[in-house]
Structure 1
Amino acid sequence: MLDLSTNIQKTEFDEVIALIEKASSIVVCAHTSPDGDAIGSGLALTSIIRRHWPLKHVVHLLADAAGEIPRIYQFLPGSDDCVSASVYEGTPDLFICVDLSAPDRLADAQPILVRSKMVAVFDHHPSSKPFWDAGLVRPGAAAAGVIVTEFALHLGVRLAKEEAQCLFCALVTDTGRFQYQNADNEAFAIAGILVGAGASPAEVALHVYQSDSLAYMH
């Protein structure tokens, strides 16, 4: 297991957990034009919160008006259980931003953020103007999926196979299949944890990087 003390402080985890425990209604939303990290991290975090706090009402929002997950990520568990921000009319107790450091990247979800009672952030980008009440923000992390994985470890949650699959997709896409410079020791350690929890690297590669070739062959 990773030494979490070298990454995000325990107090930061506890502050985010406190917000979740205060909230009855929670929205999880990533940035507009979502990539694999945004989608995978958001889906996994939604599932983790639902399992660990089963009495919470948790909605996974898509910031874009179309409200559709890109085709190459539709194989991910939970991808068919998302709501477009353009049709969401609720006022959540807690709005959780994933993989974004600026609220203007929320598109149609920004008004929902504004009317939310509390805001939390899971992100790996630097921010000059924090807009959240509590956050797990670490620019050194390879992907938001790393932070969501660490959150699950801190909670003591045993990752479900479906969550591990989403998080592995988040990690592999933001590291360019582990070819970018951000593919550090921690990224590979997290990848090992996710594969151990049931993630299938072959399935992620097939859908994300080979789906166009397969469609052409058919």
Structure 2
Amino acid sequence: MRILLAEDERELSDALVAILKHNNYSVDAVYNGEDALAYLQADNYDGAVLDIMMPKMDGITVLKKIRAEGNKVPVLILTAKSDVDDRVLGLDSGADDYLGKPFSAKELLARIRSVTRRNTEAVSSVLSLGNLSLDGTSALLSGPSGSCRLPNKEFQMMELLITNPRQIISTERFMEKIWGYDSEAEIGVVWVYISYLRKRLISLNTNVKIKAARGQGYYLEEEI
């Protein structure tokens, strides 16, 4: 799941990025409202966390602009202000929820799960295909021969594959969805991670395989 984080306090942003990545989110971090708007206009995210007080453009203005453009990405507003009017303004402008500073990591994660759950299948659900299952909470991939916990990128790739069974997912889509459009990673990294996942499926003795459609991408298929 891919999140845009717009927070101008660098230390807080770095801490939040670390927390989100540890919990299997892919994160793009920006530090002002203009960049937040540009990223949200240029790419597709599963959710956005916007600080209200940011340089160049405040979070409420960003929110109003994307909503006016028809962008329905789930948005969680962060604010250091305790004034109820600010929170009401955020919700009236199209925010899905708000979180006042200071906050705990557990509450932030719970709020993100809540707002993204409204548009997508619950993060905590177990996804299955054939005798393979993926637990969204623990990142455990399970088959007849046991379970293994997937690292962040492998989890996100498997989640994308298992939620779109038998649908070809292009290398470009993997790069955009997981690494981000401005990533410096080479496109060949997708093949490397596909190779890792194939080895895990073999070790779990599952009847689900990652197939390649030449020149198009990869897809997950249950072999009967």
TM-score by length of 1: 0.32
Higher RCO (Cα < 8 Å, 6 or more apart): 1
Structure with larger Rg: 2
Greater share of helix: 1
Using the size of structure 2 for normalisation, the TM-score is 0.32
Larger strand percent: 2
